[in-house]
């Protein structure tokens, strides 16, 4: 028997940990760019599970791959060779910039960052990692240690030692923070939870040059920016800068949980057998889903859509800002990763509430930034509708 919304909320309130500030809707179905709640209401999804459903909800090719694999083999240990895992690794490497060509599979973005941090320490022999203020890399003790937002860090200190923070985009501060204890740098090419704060090509190139000069390892956290989100497979490819290590997850599995840490062969070689592992990482079911999702991404033109439609949307939002210069402070983004910074948190909440009323799913991050990260298959008329709804409370 299907539960109604009130019954679901009652069960959740009684038994769940209560760590989420949930909205009063219960989603039960998804298809493409749309989802439906338990009361039959339809929503245009411009959040995509927070940049997860890049190929849309329940894409038939991903769904079929999951069903087919589930009938065959869902899980086996990494003590054995796994064909879907090997095929996924091959496909993933074909999309990554050279010389990144080795993959470690895990289950989430946080785990992929943890793996990257361990690899930096193992390869460098040094404990220090430089990260950016306002960054977000995860919630476990390692990934939280390099997350540059005190509201997430403070309640759980002391964290893993060795992290030091510098202003995002300030190469002089970054260079000054380097000493003999530092083994690497971790950055998001675009800060997602930090409010869609973009890098410049000059900054990322300068970071790459500093790492080369100082013998440091450069890791990019592409958990949110990757899988075609910015119009290239990885955001760093949009900037023309190649890291030594990259963390991925979110959109990788087409909605199914999977993460990956990739690195240059010579860097990954620092990991010895048993240095790192994951019971569920790279399981057959997750790999089948991810392989199907990557095929959809590359064969159905979704990265091109993210690039061209995202550029159009950014122009539309800038026009919106010109119409409301006192209400919109800034417009940022690349591809279909867009942020609209409102003049105040109250205004951002007003816009968010109006979007929910009109059944447009967005979210509010960094206090006053409206974030839009829709499925990459969204069409112009749907995105135009969402932007119109965003603007309505400003008129």
pLDDT digits (tens, 9 = 90+) for 15-24: 999 999 999 9
Arithmetic mean of pLDDT, 82-108: 98
Report phi then psi at 316, rounded to 5: -65, -40
Q: Show the tokens assigned to 46.
A: 């411009």
Q: Indicate whether 229 pLDDT > 80.
A: yes
CATH of 62-299 given 3.40.640.10, 2.60.120.380, 3.40.30.10, 1.20.120.160: 3.40.640.10
User: Do you find a cis peptide bond into 378, omega within 30 degrees of 0?
Assistant: no
Torsion of CA 229, 294, 84, 70, to 10 degrees: 90
Q: How confident is the model at residue 292 (pLDDT cuts 50, 70, 90)?
A: very high
Alpha carbon distance 69, 367 (integer Å): 42
pLDDT grade, residue 319 (50/70/90)? very high
pLDDT at 124 over 80: yes
């Amino acid at each position: 028997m299907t539960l109604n919304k009130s019954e679901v909320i009652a069960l959740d309130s009684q038994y769940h940990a209560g760590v989420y500030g949930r909205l009063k809707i219960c989603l039960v179905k998804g298809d493409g760019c749309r989802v439906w709640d338990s009361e039959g209401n339809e929503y245009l999804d411009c959040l995509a599970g927070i940049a997860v459903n890049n190929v849309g909800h329940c894409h038939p090719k991903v769904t079929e791959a999951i069903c087919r694999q589930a009938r065959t083999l869902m899980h086996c240990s990494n003590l054995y060779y796994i064909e879907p895992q090997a095929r996924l690794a091959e496909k993933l490497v074909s999309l990554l910039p050279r010389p990144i060509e080795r993959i470690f599979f895990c289950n989430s973005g946080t785990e992929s960052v943890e793996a990257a941090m361990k690899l930096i320490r193992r390869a460098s022999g040094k404990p220090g990692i430089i990260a950016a203020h306002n960054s977000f890399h995860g919630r476990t003790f390692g990934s939280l240690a390099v997350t540059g937002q005190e509201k997430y860090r403070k309640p759980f200190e002391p964290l893993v030692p060795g992290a030091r923070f510098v202003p995002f985009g300030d190469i002089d501060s970054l260079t000054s923070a380097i000493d003999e204890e530092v083994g690497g740098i971790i950055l998001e090419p675009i800060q997602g939870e930090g409010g869609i704060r973009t890098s410049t090509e000059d900054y990322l190139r300068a970071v790459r040059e500093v790492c080369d000069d100082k013998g440091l390892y450069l890791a990019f956290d592409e958990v949110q920016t990757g899988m075609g989100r910015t119009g290239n497979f990885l955001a760093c490819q949009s900037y023309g800068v190649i890291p030594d290590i990259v963390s991925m997850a979110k959109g990788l599995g087409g909605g199914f949980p999977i993460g990956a840490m990739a690195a240059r062969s010579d860097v990954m070689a620092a990991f010895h057998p048993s240095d790192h592992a994951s019971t569920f990482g790279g399981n057959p079911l997750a790999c089948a889903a991810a392989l199907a999702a990557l095929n959809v991404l590359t064969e159905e033109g979704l990265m091109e859509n993210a690039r061209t439609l995202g550029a159009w949307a950014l122009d539309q939002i800038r026009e919106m800002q010109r119409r409301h210069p006192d209400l919109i402070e800034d417009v940022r983004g690349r591809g279909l990763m867009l942020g609209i910074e409102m003049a105040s948190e109250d205004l951002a909440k007003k816009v968010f509430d109006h979007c929910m009323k009109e059944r447009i799913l967005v979210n509010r991050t960094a206090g006053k930034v409206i974030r839009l990260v829709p499925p990459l298959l969204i069409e112009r008329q749907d995105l135009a509708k969402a932007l119109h709804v965003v603007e309505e409370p400003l008129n």
